[in-house]
A = this chain, B = another copy of it.
C-alpha cells in the first residue's frame, strides 16, 4: 500500500513482546502510530508518538483515544496475575479504552483476547467462536470481560471490534501443546492487519494459531477477516519431542485448550 490507510492508530501494550512486533508491522499502515504503555518508550521512530500512561488512569486512557481512527489494544496484565492487577490493568483499563473510543468516535478496535478465555473447553470438542466462555484463570476471565464489553459497544454504539484469541505467540514453539497452539509473530501481525483492514468486521471473534499440522478449533466464523496463517510448527516437531516427555492423557493441561493454565493455582494464594 503506497498511501497509509490510517491517519492515526493507537497501539496499547506497545512495549510488550507482541507490541514490539506490531510497531514494526503497523508502521506502513498509518501516518502516526501512537504508542501506549506504562513505561517510557525510548526508541521512537518517525511516525511514532508516545502516550505513556497506566490504562487504569481513566482520564489519561480516554484522552489518548482522541483523534484516533482505530485502536490495537494489546495492553493489560500479561499472563496470570493477582486480582488487583487484573482488575485495574485489564478490566478497568479496557473499559477506559472502549469508553475513550466511544467518546472520541473511534470506528474499530482490535483486541488481544486469548485462548485462556475458553481454556477449560476440551480440545476434542473443536469449538468455534460461538462456544460459551470457559476461562481458565483470572487472566482468561478478564479476556472474557473485554469480549463481552466489546459486544455491547458493537450492539449499542456501532463500534466494530475483532477479538483475536491469541494462542501461543512466541518466536518458536516450545512444547508439545504448541504443536497446535503456536502463532508465529508474522502470522500474529498479519492477523492484526487483516482485522484492521477487512471491509466488514462487526463483532468478530478469531482464533489465532499458525497453520500448524494439528488443528484444534474451527475458525470459519472469522473467515471474513481474510487472514490465512502462513507458518507452521512442523519443522520444530522433532526437536520438541526429543526435549519433552510424552504427555499424560489424564492431565487437564493436555486435554484442554488452556494447557498449564488449567492447573495453575489461584494467584492471590501465590501472592501471599
Q: Which residues of A contact B (CB under 8 A)?
A: 1, 3, 5, 83, 87, 91-92, 95, 99, 102, 107, 120, 122-124, 126, 130-138, 140-141, 144-145, 147-149, 151-152, 155-158, 160, 176-177, 179-180, 198-204, 212-216, 218, 220-221, 223-228, 238, 241-242, 247, 249-250, 254-255, 262, 266, 268
A152-B148 contact, Cβ under 8 Å, with A198-B214, A214-B224: no
Each complex incorporates copies of this chain amounting to 6
When the two chains form their complex, are residues B200 and A247 in contact, meaning their CB atoms are under 8 A apart? Answer: yes
A30 to chain B, nearest CB (A): 14
For residue A218, which residue of chain B has the nearest CB?
B220
Residue of B nearest to A132 (CB): B130
Residue of B with least CB distance to A158:
B250
> In whole Å, how far is A46's beta carbon from the nearest beta carbon of chain B?
23
Q: A151 is contacted by which of B1, B133, B216, B228 (Cβ under 8 Å)?
A: B133
- Smallest Cβ distance from A253 to chain B, in angstroms? 10
Report whether A238 and B152 are in contact in the complex, using a CB–CB cutoff of 8 Å.
no
- 24 intermolecular pairs with C-beta atoms under 8 Å apart: A3-B242, A87-B91, A87-B95, A91-B91, A99-B268, A102-B266, A120-B155, A120-B156, A123-B202, A133-B133, A133-B148, A135-B151, A136-B152, A136-B155, A136-B156, A141-B152, A144-B144, A177-B199, A180-B199, A180-B226, A213-B226, A214-B223, A215-B220, A216-B224
Closest to A96 in B: B83
- CB pair B223–A126 under 8 Å, yes or no, is yes
How far does the alpha carbon of A229 sit from the alpha carbon of B241 in the complex, in Å?
22
- Among A102, A130, A155, A216, the most chain B Cβ lie within 10 Å of the Cβ of A155
Centre residue among A120, A200, A220, A242 by max chain B CB count within 10 A: A200
CA distance A160 to B238 in the complex (A): 22
With contact pairs A87-B92, A180-B224, A249-B160 given, residues A254 and B152 touching in the complex (Cβ less than 8 Å): no
CB distance from A128 to the nearest CB of B (A): 9
Cβ of B149 and Cβ of A141 under 8 Å apart?
A: yes
Assembly CA distance A224 to B257 (angstroms):
11
Are B1 and A238 neighbours in the complex by a CB distance under 8 Å?
A: yes
Return chain B residues, CB-CB under 8 Å to A95. Answer: 83, 87
